[in-house]
Amino acid sequence: MKINVKTQNMQNAVNKVQKGISTKTTLPILEGIYIKAANGLVTMVGTDLDLTIVTQIEAEVIEEGETVINSRIFTDIVKTMPGENINIEVEDNSAVLKSQSSVFNISCYNPEEFPPIPDVEVENGIVMEQDILNSMIKGTIFSVSMDMTHPILNGSLLKINDEKAIMVALDGYRMSIRRKGIEGEGDLKIVIPYKALNELTRLLETGDINISVSKNQAVFDMGDTLVYTRLLEGEFIQYENIIPLEKSLVCEVKTGEIVNTLERASLISKDRKTLVKLTFDGDYLKVEAKDERGYFNEGLDIKADGPGLSIAFNSMYLLEALRAIEDETVKMEFLSNVSPCIIKPVTGDEYLYLILPVKMKEDS
């Protein structure tokens, strides 16, 4: 294999596929980046077997071929090469990387040992805009459960039908829902694992994305870059049933103001988990936090309709939801101090955040 490629292009490609590579692996070949040169294109692949990232860049292919190079050293080399172009020449088990007068001679793995790109027998698929998918993921990913006791919750549900897309993540203590109308046909119901979601937010840009699904695999096709992922198997939780139908207190709050207040409250915190107490009294909301080190309180002017209420939350859960909202004003709904808080838009149903409170001893 012999190629000549723009350093900048190579850096971008390496940054994309490198995240697919697991740092903890028992198979040394998986620490490598697969590189294949053919038809004026260089294809690069990084995989941890669950997640595979494939990307293509244009290059001058002098001699076709394939190789696998250790990802850490390859990334570092590409990052520091001095010239505009890099010349890579592979013969047997060693690669020569040249840029200007810099020359690296490093050993490679046998490309035949590299796992094949998953063969996805497409059963169905849809097309949507990349930035829509990205905003749906970013608006829900923080609620994905990290707890292995419920494996199906270690990912987000993506459901598409009737030109409506919905994404749901929940960990038992809170739930995040994003809805968006999309154009085009097709329906879909998959649970995407956390790692794939996380990489997608990094890779998604603008333009269309093609999502194809087989039994337990999905491919996210963004043109130059493809993400293959294993899907989580099993039935996702019946999330609709969790949303309470009743409410007693409804209020409208300025998103920026309450986020700032909660951030201040979080300064009084232990182990990133601050308990905040919200006391609603007419159009006034008092936010309090307390631990061995000190006490915080702040008042907010809100628009409220309903009886007074005193309720405690893990401030991080409130903050993560509120930070994901772009609207200037949000609606918050409550029923009692042991029922969930619902955060949703003043009009429409583009998002819904449900957060369960913390029950204090004095409540019982």
> For residues 167-196, which are near another protein according to CB under 8 A?
171-173, 175
For 336, the token pair is 């009692």
Applying CB under 8 A, which of residues 340, 342, 344, 351 lies at the interface with another protein?
340
Indicate the SS3 state at residue 154: coil
The nearer residue to another protein, 134 or 176, going by C-beta atoms, is 176
- Does position 236 bind another protein by CB under 8 A? no
| Closest distance of CB 274 from another protein, Å | 11
Tokens 């994901």 belong to 324
Among 139, 155, 193, 357, binds another protein (CB under 8 A): 357
DSSP per-residue string spanning 229-265: EEPPPSPPP-GGGGS-S--SEEEEEEHHHHHHHHHHH
Q: Which stretch binds another protein (CB under 8 A): 94-102, 183-191, 194-202, 350-358?
A: 350-358
Q: Is 237 a residue that touches another protein (CB under 8 A)?
A: yes
Residue in 146, 183, 293, 348 binding another protein, rule: CB under 8 A? 146
CB atoms within 10 A of CB 362: 7
Instruction: Write the burial class of residue 202 (CB in 10 Å: 0-12 exposed, 13-18 middle, 19+ buried).
Output: exposed
Q: How far apart are CA 87 and CA 62, in angstroms?
A: 10
Nearer to another protein, 171 or 252 (CB): 171
The 311-330 contact track toward another protein, x by CB under 8 A, reads -x-x----------------
| Amino acid found at 29 | I
Does 240 contact another protein by CB under 8 A? Answer: no
147 is a site residue for another protein (CB under 8 A): yes
Distant-in-sequence, close-in-space partners of 162: CB < 8 Å, separation ≥ 6: 187
CA 114/CA 304 separation, integer angstroms: 61
202 is a site residue for another protein (CB under 8 A): no
Binding residues for another protein, rule: CB under 8 A, are 145-150, 171-173, 175, 237, 242, 271, 275, 312, 314, 338, 340, 356-361, 364
